[in-house]
Structures are given as structure tokens and as C-alpha cells.
Amino acid sequence: MYFFLINLSILDLGSISVTIPKSIANSFMNTKLISYSGCVTEVFLFMFLISADLALLTVMAYDRYVAICHPLHYERVMNRGACVQMAASAWISSIIYSALHTGNTFASTFCEDNTVDQFFCEIPQLLKLTCYDSYLSEAGFIVFGACLGLGCFVFIIVSYVQMFKTVLRIPSEQGRHKAFSTCLPRLIVVTMFLSISCFSYLKPTSSSTSGLDLLVAVLYSMVPPVMNPIIYSMRNKKIKNAVKKMIGWRLFTKNKRTVSLP
């Protein structure tokens, strides 16, 4: 579990770092410019990080399924080699998907102006600038990606349903409450992420206002990376105790340095 949490934290930190710093820098410098190569890089990294995030959440759902529903087989099924292979598969497949998606997007012919009505280079906004034939090609790729995301979502739902069935057989009410309070927030965040991102990418490009597009982009690009550390880490008692010890140790060493001799 902690191995997967390390991977998830790297992906969440990366997805925030791809879009937010550039937007903040543009705000401070009172500019709205980004280079073509910068836009390509931003699209590639963002698509890679959010797709790897979803793939890793799918793997983590399977990990929790084995731990809760088949605890006696957990050490055999989720051994170190299997964990490394699952994490590597999530990263590599996401890199390939992002490279194909980005290449297909920027291979399109842009017929409109070069103004992207968003705080980062988002593919639906870029599609508004493409010609009709290019739009159809990229739209097909987006539908394919949505089907992959839906497959991951169905797998996560099935895993959690099996976990809920097992948890309901726990005789301890405290144990059931702990399991539900841990699993339900994870399902809510995954559902919100997939539903909002599918709405953003699958809706017609001219069916919503720029204000709605901005709100939707903020919800699916910023909220899940912010919520994941809270749900997967800060709700874990061992991690909370480790953070408290680390903060306490730093305060202790800081106080030691500031003490002056009479």
C-alpha cells in the first residue's frame, strides 16, 4: 500500500506542477502567452499524469480488494515483484497513450486563431481551433480514451462492491465504520474525477460558456490531486503519527537552536 502511495503522491504532485506554476507566472507577469513547444509539453505531461493516476487508482483498488477479501493470499498475490510490475505497467501504458494522444492532437490542422480560452493547454480547447476533419480524428481518439477510463471505473466499482460485501460481514461495528469511512471518500473522488473529465472531453466544443469550461477544468485537474493525499494518507493513523513525530522533531530541534546561554 505504501509503495503505491509513493507513486500516487508523485503523480499528484506532478499533475499540479504541470499547469498551476505556469498559470501563476503568467498572472504575475500580466501575460497570457505560452510557446508552441511549451503547449505540446504541457498537454503530454498532463495527459500522462492524469491517465497514470487513474491507472494507479485501479491498481490500488485491486490491492485493497485482495487485502480485504482474500487476506490469507495477500502476501502471495501482492508480492514485491507484482507491485513493481503493476506500477510500471500503469506508468508505461500512460506514457504510450499520452504520446499517441498528444501526437494526434498536434498533427491536426489548426484553422482558427491561436487563442486557447483556458488557464492551460487543454485538448478540448485546442480542438476548437482545428479544422473539421482533424476534429473528427481527435474526437475518435477521445472516445477511445473515455472507454478505457470507463473500463477502469467499472473495475474499481466491482472491486469496492466486493469489499463492501466482505466488510458488512465484519461483526465489529467500529470495523465496519472504519472501512466505509475509508472506502467511500475514495469512490467519491474517483467518480467525480471521471464524470467531470468525461463531461469536459466528450461534450460538444461549442455547448458551454468559457466560465463553465474553466470551472470544470479546475474541478478535474486540481481537486483530485488535492483530495488524494487527504483521503489516502492523512486518514491513515500510521502516516498521521509519522507526520506528528516529524513536525515535533523539527520544532524540538528548532527550539534547541534558538535557546541562548545566560
Judged by average pLDDT, the poorest of 1-5, 135-139, 158-162, 219-223 is 135-139
pLDDT at 193: 79
What does pLDDT average to over the chain? 79
Amino acid at 137: S
Among 40-54, 113-127, 209-223, top mean pLDDT goes to: 40-54
Q: 30: alpha, beta or left, given left = phi > 0 and alpha = psi -120 to 50?
A: left
Mean pLDDT of 126-152: 76
Q: Over 50: is that where the pLDDT of 261 sits?
A: no
Q: 203 vs 215, which has greater pLDDT?
A: 215
- Residue ranges covered by each domain of the chain: 2-236
At 87 the pLDDT is 92
Percentage of residues in the chain having pLDDT higher than 90:
11
Query: Per-residue confidence at 260, pLDDT binned at 50, 70, 90?
Result: very low
pLDDT in tens, 9-59: 888 888 888 888 888 887 788 777 888 888 888 889 988 998 898 899 899
Architecture of the domain delimited by 2-236: Up-down Bundle (1.20)
- Mean pLDDT across 147-157: 88
Label residues 24-45 b or e (16+ Cβ within 10 Å = b): eeeeeeeeeebeeeebeebbbb
According to the per-residue pLDDT averaged within each range, which of 53-57, 103-107, 212-216 is highest? 53-57
Residue 198 is predicted with a pLDDT of: 76
Q: How confident is the model at residue 259 (pLDDT cuts 50, 70, 90)?
A: very low
In this predicted model, what pLDDT tens digit does every residue of 240-254 receive, in sequence order?
677 777 776 665 555
Q: Is the pLDDT of residue 189 over 70?
A: yes
Please tell me the predicted confidence (pLDDT) of residue 202.
72
Whole-prediction pTM: 0.79
Given a cut of 80, whether residue 262 has pLDDT beyond it is no
Q: What percent of the chain has pLDDT over 70?
A: 81
Q: What is the pLDDT of residues 58-90, one digit of tens each?
A: 998 898 889 888 888 888 999 999 999 999 999
